[in-house]
Amino acid sequence: MPTIEKNPSSEDFLKSLGFPTLLVHDTFTHFDFTTPGRRVLLIGPMGSGKTEFAARVWRDAAVAGRKSERVRAMTSTGDVDRRHVFFIRSEIDKSRFQDYPEDALAFRSGYIRCGKDIAHIRDSFGLEEVMRDNPGVGTYIIDEASFFDERLAYVVRNASLEKGCMFIFPTLVLNFRRDLFNNTARLILDIATDVIPLTAYCEHPDCMDPAFYTYRYYTVGGKECPALFFDPLIVVGGDQVKESTAEPNYAARCDKHHYLPGKEYTFFTLKPLGEAAGRGDSASLVKEIEALHSNVEASLLYENFIKRYSDDEHAEKYMSSLLPGLIAEKALCYLYGEQNLISEQLLTQLVFDLDLDIPYMEKTLAANRRPVRFNQPYLI
Ligand SMILES: [Zn+2]
């Protein structure tokens, strides 16, 4: 299969014009709408310009759309024309773009308006509905596809095989933990035919290395506090910089400046405590959650940090990850929502006994597809 968005003949062409031997970079070409059935992954950390690239595809499509019937034949398969681009975004993402018009495809330096060719969907069934309602659309740009259900990967693959539709996924493949984002990300990698990697500069002020990772941090009192490893996978939030314990900020970082404290604690201590609680022995977990909530210096987490990071050159940075609050809430969301280790009954009991932040937990668990309502008094 040819490499797409790359023009191997440009080097020969420049040589033929008499250019001396010099470093020739890949040509940044217009988008190819002629090849049917492509599933294109646009990957890169936050701030690498994924949405901007998607906006370029949109503008290229407008240029190609003004061309002749001959071009239509090249860009169409049956009823679908890949120059007709439609933008798909998640319903839960709506609040991120409140400052823009409803139909805006917004990126860092501006936005384009998509008119009726944009939809906010909840899941893969929503995507099927949009495709049914727009039978002539040939290209779908699906923003942050990892936020949707796994089924989406097969809906997409089948539509591209059966109808020749093209799909473009501007998406994070790695989460802030440097893991594959989730199963949906894994399946989308499986079905992709093309990958366009984008990078950004590491955003650390002392660094010029390329950044491959998304770094999550909170800002407390003007201080950068790295997110703990067991911070919730999905946090719904805006793009603006926030001073908040509940809503993080993101930056693109290189390996060296991507701080991720608490990984050892998560696997060495927190998960085993959750597993024991799942077997009915919850005393140690309750004690730890209590400490995380009201006196973090008495926690096993703190003990681990002192042992692990005291002599590290970034010790202060690592320790500042304990400044944002809600550590107990985050640990419970991890054990219940993500790892499925503790019962809803134990979760509810801890939430009420320790007077944890219910709105934060309900919002976080819902965003991570394990909704719980803590409005019933519990009975033991
Ligand atoms: Zn760096």
* Structural contact between residues 170 and 46, judged by C-beta atoms closer than 8 angstroms: no
Q: How far is ligand 1, taken at its centre, from the CA of residue 207, in Å?
A: 5
Gap between the Cα atoms of 248 and 216, Å rounded: 6
Q: How far is ligand 1, taken at its centre, from the CA of residue 258, in Å?
A: 8
pLDDT score at 173: 83
Q: How far is ligand 1, taken at its centre, from the CA of residue 212, in Å?
A: 10
Gap between the Cα atoms of 65 and 279, Å rounded: 62
The pLDDT tens digits of the residues spanning 201-216 come to 999 999 999 998 999 9
Residue 6 has pLDDT above 60, yes or no: no
Gap between the Cα atoms of 275 and 100, Å rounded: 45
pLDDT score at 2: 42
**Tokens linked to 116:** 């009726």
Q: Which of 177-186, 278-287, 319-328, 354-363 has the lowest mean pLDDT?
A: 177-186
Q: Give every CB contact of residue 8 below 8 A, 6+ residues apart in sequence.
A: none
Q: How confident is the model at residue 15 (pLDDT cuts 50, 70, 90)?
A: confident
The pLDDT tens digits of the residues spanning 74-115 come to 999 999 999 999 999 988 766 666 677 888 887 777 888 888
| Rounded-to-10 torsion of CA 23, 28, 33, 37 | 60
Q: How far is ligand 1, taken at its centre, from the CA of residue 312, in Å?
A: 17
pLDDT score at 376: 63
Phi, psi of 244 (to 5 degrees): -160, 150
Distance of CA 93 to the CA centre of its chain: 11
Q: Give, as residue ranges, everything with CB less than 5 Å from ion ligand 1.
A: 202, 204, 207, 209, 254, 257
| Rounded-to-10 torsion of CA 273, 275, 281, 285 | 30
pLDDT score at 235: 83
Domain boundaries, the chain: 10-198, 263-367
The matching CATH number, chosen from 3.40.190.80, 3.40.50.300, 3.40.30.10, 3.40.50.800, for 10-198 is 3.40.50.300
Residue from 200, 206, 226, 235 nearest 337 by CA: 235
Give the position of tokens 């998406």: 171
**Tokens linked to 222:** 């003007």
Q: Which of 94-108, 234-248, 304-318 has the lowest mean pLDDT?
A: 234-248
Q: What is the pTM of this model?
A: 0.75
Residue 178 has pLDDT above 80, yes or no: yes
Q: How confident is the model at residue 359 (pLDDT cuts 50, 70, 90)?
A: very high
pLDDT score at 3: 44
